Structure 1
Amino acid sequence: MLRSTAVQVKADTARLRKARGAFFTPDALARYITDWAVRSVEDRVMEPSCGEAAFLLAAVDRLAALAATRTGQAVLPHLDGVELHPESAQAARELLQSAGVEATVTVGDFFTVEPRASYDAVIGNPPYVRYQDFSGENRTRSRQAALRAGVTLTGLASSWAAFTVHAAQFLKPGGRLGLVLPAELLTVNYATDVRRFLMDKFATVDLVVFEERVFPGVLEEVVLLLADGYGQGPTDHCRIYQAQNADDLANTTTPRLWRPIPPGGKWTSSLLTSETLGAYSNLLGSASFTPLETWGDTTLGMVTGNNKYFALSPARVAALGLDASDLLRLSPPGSRHLRGLDFTAAALDELGQDGSAVWLFRPAGEPSDAAWAYIEAGKAQEVDQAYKCRVRRPWWRTPLVRPADLFLTYMNADTPRLSTNKARAHHLNSVHGVYLQPEHRKLGKDLLPLASLSAMTLLGAEIVGRAYGGGMLKLEPKEADALPVPTPAVVEAARAELSAQRPKVARLLSGGQLLAASQIVDDVLLIGELGLPVSEVKALRQGHAELTARRTARGAEAKRLS
């Protein structure tokens, strides 16, 4: 009979564990995944990056339980591990030996181990090293390992992405892959090919998501990946289970079916309830909502290379004696001033009076004498040596981007905002510019910022955007292109009622009451114009609230741990 015995081992330091991305797995997670993955006493089991063998020890107990149902047959477990850290590998061997089994634990980099399709189950908790710290030969080996499986990873990929793909290559046909992965699997762009790989290669892909964090003191949220039937895919759907925390895994919800469209696209919507996902998917697939790119193009703003030098307040302009020909009207760096429906010339003037940088130093032709003096001062301060300045001629002339029809905020505490650029100001790369199609320009400038406040668009922003440190929601231009907004036809049909509600919505936004403003837009567009049931609109609002709460909770936790 196999047995599992707890053994005290020399503790590893937190600093060294963090450096190599090692976070030891709670026993409940290891046992849940192992009990799912290991089906027979004959199963060969591998735990890559095994640490102190949490999953292999769980496999000992699982095999013992399976053996107890059989009589007259000895159990000879086939357990293998790979571990980069020699002391952890030795601790794993001692723990397994104390549990009554001999297992092979190889010391080395998992990415240098040649895949051999000989395992029934590959289980574990991959190291999590962010791309900033995952560099050099380690990154090169990981990307090569993923590429052998046909998966191309960008330079932004963290270590777990290549690890997941490489681990699957060790499975026999029909084998099971059970991993603890960062919730980044669901949301980040660099995991697109990983998500597609899983859907292509496995017959079933299940995900377990958690309401609470499962690693004490660690900010990163996790999901459990349970992929079955290697080499027997593709599948077009996932099954989503939900648990409160690691100790609640026995009480996971009844799974719900979820189809990612496309398979490699973001899986953020898998976190939604069935009611919310149904309402969102129905609108997304209807003729009533469309990606923002239908209205126009979203582009990055101008990059100066040194905003403190190039973006100037009126007082600074006066002190320097610059001419009007040396300057362009500028939406100040940042986006705090872009929380309403319009950005007007009066608002720009008021910002300037308050000391904001509302002028861009950019002589269009021959600089004035004062401008030449300022240019020489910039050289003395080595502004011309900044990378963006150094690679352009002349260094002091920022490449021009024409004034946009709309501004779109891209770093947001609440939600991305569209504002009509009535001031015709230029913008820096702290906001995006939306350039409307000629046939949609008048309608879009009049009403798209208002119509984009519906719960559908707010929820869509949480799905297509990405959460960053501090709980901020970031929207890159490609993600903005996919933002679901009402079609021009729907906005035109609701023009009169939207226009009537515009003053009230503007007042609410100026008072910071985004959700109250959104509810007015919902009443006009979703309920009044499109005839959606109130229950579906509530589901959309609830979905937005839940995803926003997840994001902001991460931000609050990050501040607590910093």
Structure 2
Amino acid sequence: MVPLSQKHSGAYFTPDPVVSALVRWAVNDPTDRMLDPSCGDGRFLASHRNSVGIEQDARSAANAMERAPWALVHEGDFFTWASETSERFECAAGNPPFIRYQTFKGPVRARALGLCRGLGAEFNGLASSWAPFLVATAGLLKPGGRMAFVVPAEIGHAPYASPLLEYLVANFAMVQVVAVRGKLFPDLSEDCWLLYANGHGGQTDRIRFTAVDRFEPSKAKHPPSEGEDVLVTEWRQIWGRRLRPFVLPASVRALYARAAAHPKSLRFGAAAQIGIGYVSGANDFFHLKPSMAKKLGIPAELLHPTVRNGRALPAKQLTKSTLQQWHADDEPYMLLKLPKAPVADLPAKVRRYLDSEAGREAREAYKCRVREPWFSVPDVHKPDYFLSYMSGVSANLVRNSGGATCTNSVHGVRVRDAKAMQRVAEHWMGDFVALSREIEGHPLGGGMLKLEPREATRILVAADELAPELGGDALADAVTTMQRWRHYV
């Protein structure tokens, strides 16, 4: 068997202090049978002599057998094994593979989701591998069983993580999530938290949430005791099944919740429609510099100014002067916008460009290959505003006074309520809206904040009646706290 790459297998081996802490909590007695559903090189198995591990990668499985010769190691797909085994365990611990949905596919994915569905957890098409791993593992525990796992910080905000947490609170007497700001894996851009669940077969109406700056190993047989109990109803109804807002002070969360419930507060989605821009399929071919367009003889009426990425956006307003500057700088800001027409109806010089070596290469790109005709870029609109898709210190909301369009690396905002949109624009740079962007968006590797269109529609403008409560430093400090948690410096 050819060994899987580290990225494909999701294998990032856990530091020994984290392994020891999780196993110490999960194992109550030396006779407890412990399961690691993705044992990698056997680090968790080596910490307890009564262990069973499953590992799909042959090389890692061999390493696990060498590291923990007393353990029983099965080489193969965990979900196949879990659906066939009759074994049950007192506890489980490990670091499930973090394989995103694009790679977690085919028969393995179908088997995983089917197994979870039978256990009562329904995952959507965007679920990464680690969440089904944990549900399937929980299904192999004996009554009263425990589990302790490293999990991606996405457990705090990703929609696909909510079926996991719903399953856990319905099947365990205690569920605790420990958010760790410092990186457990220094060489990995993905932040990782810790998950504890105890009392399999029970249920709970709360999630214990603990936020710590750094992981500090303890010899105690319990997770950190500090933190707060998050009622499941509050997690669902107020915070949209997200735990990430609970890194904020309770007073700030209470203010945000009041603003969200106030009838005169406003969500961005009530003011405008927000969506991604067009997908050209071959940016280098379809985005031309003025000098190249002139050289090729492309008619001006077939060229449209475009915002290629968020870095190109000015701070507040894109004007005709902005476009003139891009033109003077010979930036590739001109989109070749061709109609859905027979090739023969296009100007001769355009046909010559389409038949060039660059054109022949572009038409083989996936997005071009699957559309008809390949050279007509769909969904080209002139939005009223542009919104940064990813940002560092602040997402820009930029008025489109220049009549440009945009690629899918920028959001296009089309106004549907002018008065409401004016309110959004006026409050955009305030601390409350900045905090709302942090709460409704989610962190991305490298310290960036990402705003999907669905998340952007939830950005909140507080009612004017709450203005006296929005002063002071509390909101600005809260924004800084959220930025620190996504490692923006």
Tell me by how many angstroms 1:161 deviates: 1.9
CA distance in 2, matches of 1:358, 1:268: 38
Identical counterparts, % of pairs: 30
1:48-447 residue pairs with structure 2 within 5 A?
Answer: 48-51=37-40, 54-55=43-44, 58-59=47-48, 79-84=51-56, 85-94=60-69, 96=70, 104-113=72-81, 114=83, 116=86, 118-131=88-101, 134-154=104-124, 156-242=126-212, 244-247=214-217, 252=224, 254-258=226-230, 259-262=234-237, 265-328=241-304, 330-363=305-338, 371-380=347-356, 381-382=359-360, 383-437=362-416, 440-442=417-419, 444=421, 446-447=422-423
Once residues 409 and 7 of structure 2 are traced to their aligned partners in structure 1, the CA distance between those partners, rounded to angstroms, is 32
Distance, in Å, in 2 between the alignment partners of 1:16 and 1:402 is 41
Matched AA of 1:406: Y
Question: Secondary structure of the residue that 1:265 maps to in structure 2?
Answer: coil
Counterpart for residue 545 of structure 1: 480
Post-superposition Cα deviations, 1:494-539, rounded to whole Å, max 9, x if no partner, equal xxxxxxxxxxxxxxxxxxxxxxxxxxxxxxxxxxx611164xx533
- Following superposition, the deviation at residue 432 of structure 1 comes to 1.3
Contact 1:325–1:363 (CA under 8 A) maintained in structure 2: no
Unaligned 5+ runs, structure 2: none
1:208-245 CA-to-partner distances (Å, cap 9, x unmatched) read 12232223534432211112233322524433252522
C-alpha separation between the residues in 2 aligned to 1:119 and 1:52? Answer: 21
Distance 1:310 1:27, change over 3 A: closer
Distance 1:17 1:340 in 2: 40
- Contact 1:341/1:449 (CA < 8 Å) preserved in 2? no
Contact 1:406 1:434 in 2 (8 A): yes
Shift of the alpha carbon at 1:374?
1.7
Contact 2:173–2:204 under 8 Å retained in 1 = yes
Task: Choose between structure 1 and 2: higher helix proportion.
Answer: 1
Q: Is the 8 A contact 1:419 1:449 kept in 2?
A: no
Paired amino acid for 2:130: W
Q: Report the Cα distance in structure 1 between the residues aligned to 2:395 and 2:154, rounded to whole angstroms.
A: 21
Q: Distance in 2 between matches of 1:16 and 1:429?
A: 30
Shift of 1:140: 4.2
- Residue correspondence of structure 1 range 444-523 to structure 2 within 5 A: 444=421, 446-486=422-462, 490=464
Q: What SS does the aligned partner of 1:112 have?
A: helix
Q: 1:396 and 1:33 mapped to 2: Cα distance?
A: 55
Amino acid at match of 1:485: V
CA contact (8 A) 1:126 1:180 kept: yes
Deviations 1:459-510 (A, max 9, x none): 23233323334333222212212222346xx4xx9xxxxxxxxxxxxxxxxx
Secondary structure of the 2:176 match is strand
Give RMSD over aligned pairs: 3.5
Corresponding pairs, count = 472
After superposition, the Cα gap between the structure-2 partners of 1:25 and 1:313, relative to the gap in structure 1 and judged at 3 Å, is closer
Q: Deviations for 1:398-454, whole angstroms, at most 9, x for unmatched residues?
A: 2244321221110223332211212232222221111222xx21552x453331222
Q: Confirm or deny: 8 A CA contact 2:296 2:353 kept in the other structure.
A: no
What SS is found at the alignment partner of 1:331?
strand
2:24 & 2:33 partners in 1: Cα distance? 14
1:168: Cα distance to partner? 0.7
Tell me if structure 2 keeps the 8 A contact 1:206–1:241.
Answer: no
Structure 1 residues 179 and 423: alpha-carbon distance in aligned structure 2, compared to 1, 3 A threshold:
same
2:22 counterpart of 1:33:
yes
Counterparts of 1:17 and 1:354, CA distance in 2: 43
| SS of structure 2 residue aligned to 1:530 | helix
